[in-house]
A and B are shown apart, each in its own frame.
Chain A
Amino acid sequence: MQTSSTSQIRKASGYRGLVTSLLMTPILIILLAPSLIIIPMSFTEVPFLSWPPKGFSAKWYARLFDSPEWLASLWHSLEVALLSTIIAVLLGVPAGVSLALKQWPGKQFVLAFIITPLVVPTIVVGIGMYKIYAWLGLFDRSGLVAAHVMIGVPLVVVTTMSAARQVNPVLLRAARSLGAGPVSTFFRVTLPIISSGVLSGAVFAFVSSWDEVVIAKFLSSPTYETAPVRMWAQITERVDPTVAAVSSILFTAALLLMISLMLFERVRR
């Protein structure tokens, strides 16, 4: 029964192979094309972005690394992304664990509340923070970190929650009855089990901060701007291949992070 129906499905997908590839090719092109063209564009010789790229030159990277403004903006992006990821994990993991493993009333409501920063338009959030953060004493780095914690933390909560659902409550009761307090139960039983969920949440939070431009546009100042904000200013004024070089660096960094996460998952299994 099992094998005959499996072979039936295989056969069906065999003669549907053509249709499948006809459908999938455009989707894959739409998904991948923008990420794939940026790197070849960044090695062009001419001072404008045209297709096909002319010649081969790393001069836009050289120009990038010679520019104190670009280097500062990359450093600021890294700083904000790292700090906001750490804080998002510290706030989001206990919340995700509590939502998944503990019983208390109003969970659906709280969950909906935690998700709202992901769906309320960033422009609304951005101008609100622009108005309030200065009043709260949050400027430049502290303001950007606070804002990016807000958009990163829902991602950490969601991934932590789905990982924490895999935790067998019997294990927690066993740890407690063997004398472990709530803190050591968390660090020695719960956390090791949910670590891969926490890690992917952290990666998503990092990438979302690394990427974010609309809110950052309102919270950064000329002395403290992130790479996306500087890129946005460049793109809307005049475009030279330096922007493609920065994009390639941002892409490569995020890609390496994502690949190491996937490899890490594979090693753990």
Chain B
Amino acid sequence: MTTVVRPEARSWPVSLPDSLGIWPLLAALLVLFMLPAATIISNSVTEPENAGLSNFRSVLTDPTFAIFAINTVRTAVLVSIVCAVLGYVYAYVMYRSSPGLRAILIFCALLPLCTSLLVRSFAWTVILRDTGIVNWILINTGVIAQPVGMLRTSFAVTVGMAQILLPFSIFPAYVSMARFDGTLLRASRSLGAGPVRSFLEVFFPATRVGMIAGTVLVFVLSLGYFITPVLLGGPGDQPIAVLIDAQVTSLLDWGAAGAMSAIVTFFVLLFLAIGWRAVSRIFFA
């Protein structure tokens, strides 16, 4: 670094590759992330020895796996729909608010990130249980006489996961709205379109990409959820992640765990690849 470069020199004497900054990270990712993930997935064909595709065959024909897979997909779809709608509404209100109110709304959307996922799921058990807050309010206002069972239901899982994943749909939707050219709306209004038509034919199509990006992330992330369904769900809400955990911690069946991991990871990456254009337009453009 003591080399003196004359002002007119255009390039550094020892030329460093432009991609230099990426290499330490890629090396770390390969050893510390890819190697473990690849090992688990390859376990599906190597455990027990010469397993071939037998693990996949037994997992895919196992009715238990089918039930857990259906639970996973049903929860992910429900959570994605709830987050897509609520996130878009929230982002739209943020977009139309004054800067002060918008700052408050951004803070409210970020606040959940300060609370650990574990704590928030645990908090829902306190809110939704028979002696919890919701039943306490409903009984004290005379709406109901007996507590309504809400904990250990799909409803609890959906609310708990939607709460955790909402920021992932709010911010992409907001990013696409902030990039929207407001003059287009004025143009459509001055050309005679009413507010509803302007929204549906001008604003929504232009900001849909944010909603798609957020929904892809929410869907993909919900496929792997573990903590929230265990704490809030009933027996009919347990996802594949729970089954994988059981294979490893109680059954010691690494082959089955590997096959299930391979299946979940494949679908996660598949859906991410399908939505990648929208995601990269929001996050990396």
A: which residues have CB within 8 A of B?
A: 1, 5, 8-9, 12-13, 20, 23-24, 27-28, 30-35, 37-38, 41, 49-52, 91-92, 94-99, 102-104, 108, 110-114, 116-117, 119-125, 127-133, 136, 146-147, 149-150, 153, 157-158, 161-162, 176-179, 181-184, 204, 207, 210-211, 213-214, 228, 231-232, 235-236, 239, 243, 247, 250-251, 254-255, 257-258, 262
Are B118 and A161 in contact (CB-based, < 8 A)? Answer: no
21 contacts between A and B (CB under 8 A): A30-B159, A33-B127, A34-B115, A35-B123, A91-B28, A94-B24, A104-B19, A124-B41, A124-B264, A125-B33, A127-B257, A131-B40, A132-B35, A176-B12, A179-B6, A179-B7, A181-B5, A211-B117, A213-B117, A250-B115, A258-B111
- Provide the bound-state CA to CA distance between A128 and B195, in Å: 53
Q: Which of B188-246 contact A (CB under 8 A)?
A: 189, 195, 217, 220-221, 223-224, 226-227, 230-231, 241, 244-245
- Provide the bound-state CA to CA distance between A253 and B4, in Å: 47
Are B261 and A124 in contact (CB-based, < 8 A)? Answer: yes
- Provide the bound-state CA to CA distance between A242 and B280, in Å: 43
Residue of B31, B113, B124, B132 contacting most chain A CB atoms (<10 Å): B113
Which residue in A27, A110, A121, A210 is a CB contact (below 8 Å) of B265?
A121
- Nearest A residue to B17 by beta-carbon distance? A104
Interface check B268, CB cutoff 8 A: yes
Are B33 and A34 in contact (CB-based, < 8 A)? Answer: no
**Shortest distance in angstroms between B163's beta carbon and chain A's nearest beta carbon?**
5
List A contacts of B272 (CB < 8 A).
Answer: 112, 119
Interface check B162, CB cutoff 8 A: yes
**Shortest distance in angstroms between B177's beta carbon and chain A's nearest beta carbon?**
14
**Shortest distance in angstroms between B109's beta carbon and chain A's nearest beta carbon?**
7
Interface check B62, CB cutoff 8 A: no
**Shortest distance in angstroms between B30's beta carbon and chain A's nearest beta carbon?**
9
Interface check B251, CB cutoff 8 A: no
Are B107 and A136 in contact (CB-based, < 8 A)? Answer: no
Are A262 and B26 in contact (CB-based, < 8 A)? Answer: no
List B contacts of A182 (CB < 8 A).
Answer: 12, 16
Q: Which of B105-144 contact A (CB under 8 A)?
A: 107-124, 126-127, 131-133, 136
Known: A35-B115, A258-B114, A262-B107. A102 touches B18 (CB 8 A): yes
Are B39 and A213 in contact (CB-based, < 8 A)? Answer: no
- Provide the bound-state CA to CA distance between A182 and B224, in Å: 42
Are B21 and A97 in contact (CB-based, < 8 A)? Answer: yes
Task: Give chain B's interface residue range (CB within 8 Å of chain A).
Answer: 35 or more
List A contacts of B136 (CB < 8 A).
Answer: 51-52
Interface check B274, CB cutoff 8 A: no
- Provide the bound-state CA to CA distance between A128 and B37, in Å: 5
**Shortest distance in angstroms between A117's beta carbon and chain B's nearest beta carbon?**
5
List B contacts of A96 (CB < 8 A).
Answer: 21
List A contacts of B8 (CB < 8 A).
Answer: 177
Are B18 and A37 in contact (CB-based, < 8 A)? Answer: no
Are B90 and A24 in contact (CB-based, < 8 A)? Answer: yes
- Provide the bound-state CA to CA distance between A51 and B128, in Å: 11
Known: A122-B226, A147-B32. A250 touches B119 (CB 8 A): yes
List A contacts of B124 (CB < 8 A).
Answer: 34
Are B123 and A110 in contact (CB-based, < 8 A)? Answer: no
Known: A32-B111, A112-B276. A131 touches B36 (CB 8 A): yes
Interface check B248, CB cutoff 8 A: yes
**Shortest distance in angstroms between B18's beta carbon and chain A's nearest beta carbon?**
4
Are B189 and A119 in contact (CB-based, < 8 A)? Answer: no
Are B244 and A124 in contact (CB-based, < 8 A)? Answer: yes
- Provide the bound-state CA to CA distance between A47 and B21, in Å: 53
